[in-house]
Structure 1
């Protein structure tokens, strides 16, 4: 299966060699940001490879030197939200279906999470069965900084992180390195960045276990393990306001810095993210969480903070968003609940039945 077709499909390169199929995100100037055609191209390839007996393992990687994927094309989302469009909702529907497909994939799915892996990049990697980080990895769900809420199954993954680590990462958008990604359950193995070309090449001729045994190492020390005490205490508070109060009262300088960071984020996004994480813990399988995220994302599309957040961070780059409302205290329960309202005929509905096929390593 070696074909690179036009109409945007050159942004996802497909290649098969030996027992392996390789999927390369190929928009290096845009840090491999995902477009709708890219999502459809990935789904098409994965569906074909799932039924191809010559393909025993799938590898996803990013072109260029900067990272796997910085997320979705938020400039396109900004324009869609600004003009009252619905293209983003269509994009998210297919993107979340892809996230679920990856999580249930019947063959080893090896994600090379080198460099920047954010937002949608987490969605196409961290649901895979073999997730590899390097000393260059910076993994994050930074949505609250643009008036959005972690999606692509991010609230599912972060809700499963030990203690309140996931709450800290979701609310602040803090990027983590290899050791902390491993600690939080966002990755499985550490491999030196320089070894990735050999690892990817060897998967064409050898089993995943054998290849990993040759390349996996211990990662450099992270930051979160030693911060568990203040993170777990502060983020266990019932409300966002109380979380900030606890952070400010902490003796840990990092806690006070986290409070300052939280106050720069969209107040609405912070409160909705906190609610989404806590609901995700009770929803069960990934598919139910993705369905909830779809409701939240569609509500965010028509909120003022998404347009303003992308404007400030990406379009004008003045880094001075004017949130509406401007404080946490002004975001009441009804405003939060609106993000979880049923979409009726427009609901995303995903099959949560596990695949009948067993992943063979």
Structure 2
């Protein structure tokens, strides 16, 4: 069955969701998110479905994230801001607590919203083709969909480095970071899908998962990453990178300096706050506050324009420097939304509303 960008299939004990926008590397739109959620809800109570598999159509990747072009066009048309994040964040939370195994094949490109769709699942599979990352500071946004929950729990400051610079990692890096669980050769994925239709998820995956995972290149850089990103101040981090004797650190400084200053400061603050939060839902509520306010700020529209609309790769950030982003401005983005809170966490449910 084909419904708004996804395919739903049944085979044996397996329910299979296929993201079906290969030309867009399966970028998520709101209709896809609603239909994925609906399929999961139907299969949750279907005794004939034991495991859910999520894959991406085409050769390029699992999911390149949210459809930011569609979001940009909605913004230009003056669409309601709530339509962009609420359904997706509720889906992320639902996936994290789903009572049956969910097995995403994180093969090829897995960015942004693709992380939210896969890295909160129970049985996460990567391959030698995997490229994971949260590229949001590149477009004037923050790593949302619970990305700060995941990155804040990565070893040392590796998550901070990737989040601020919009960096990417391999499948081996993803396992080391805690974003995924199993490494399977991409050539074995069709056979693994067949096995999931016949056997429980743990048993099927055990037949194909590599016992020895390739070395993580990112982990080799942890010495300078932990040293340079230890600070809670973005300007201190940038200065440490610029003054480092490590060439890769100075390259990271160039990357960080090119990103939206507002996004960099908000991302760092969001990561540090996420470290003190106990649940994914608390972080998703924080993501919602930031997302709603960033839609009204200038950098998101400008970042999307520069990266994917005009493609001049020359965004004009406002403010243009880290120093110009005041502390009071950063704190204002995290302020409670009152009755407009998403309310996934019991602590943030607005008065008079039951918890989602």
Pick the TM interval, shorter chain: over 0.9
Determine if the alignment matches structure 1 residue 159 to structure 2 residue 164.
Answer: no
Post-superposition shift, 1:209?
2.1
Question: SS in structure 1 opposite 2:85?
Answer: helix
> Partner residue of 1:359?
none
**1:125-164 residue pairs with structure 2 within 5 A?**
125-164=118-157
Determine if the alignment matches structure 1 residue 326 to structure 2 residue 316.
Answer: no
Partners of 2:162 and 2:174 lie apart in 1 by 11
Determine if the alignment matches structure 1 residue 63 to structure 2 residue 54.
Answer: no
8 A Cα contact 1:119 1:142, kept in partner = yes
Which of these residues, 263, 266, 269, is aligned with residue 263 of structure 2? Answer: 269
> Partner residue of 2:221?
227
Could you say what the CA RMSD is over the residues aligned between the two structures, in angstroms?
1.3
Determine if the alignment matches structure 1 residue 114 to structure 2 residue 107.
Answer: yes
8 A Cα contact 2:302 2:316, kept in partner = yes
Post-superposition shift, 1:221?
2.5
Aligned residues: 346
Question: SS in structure 1 opposite 2:40?
Answer: helix
Determine if the alignment matches structure 1 residue 31 to structure 2 residue 18.
Answer: no
Which consecutive unaligned segments of at least 5 residues does structure 2 have?
Answer: 348-356
Q: 1:141 to 1:303 in 2, by over 3 A?
A: same
Which structure has the higher relative contact order (CA within 8 Å, separation 6+)?
A: 1
8 A Cα contact 2:232 2:268, kept in partner = no
Runs (4+) of structure 1 exceeding 6 A deviation are none
**1:1-361 residue pairs with structure 2 within 5 A?**
3-4=1-2, 9-87=3-81, 89-217=82-210, 218-350=212-344
Partners of 1:84 and 1:228 lie apart in 2 by 44
Question: SS in structure 1 opposite 2:262?
Answer: helix
Question: TM-score normalised to the size of structure 1?
Answer: 0.93
8 A Cα contact 1:139 1:177, kept in partner = yes
8 A Cα contact 1:84 1:302, kept in partner = no
Which consecutive unaligned segments of at least 5 residues does structure 1 have?
Answer: 354-361
8 A Cα contact 1:299 1:338, kept in partner = no
Partners of 1:279 and 1:306 lie apart in 2 by 22
Partners of 2:203 and 2:281 lie apart in 1 by 32
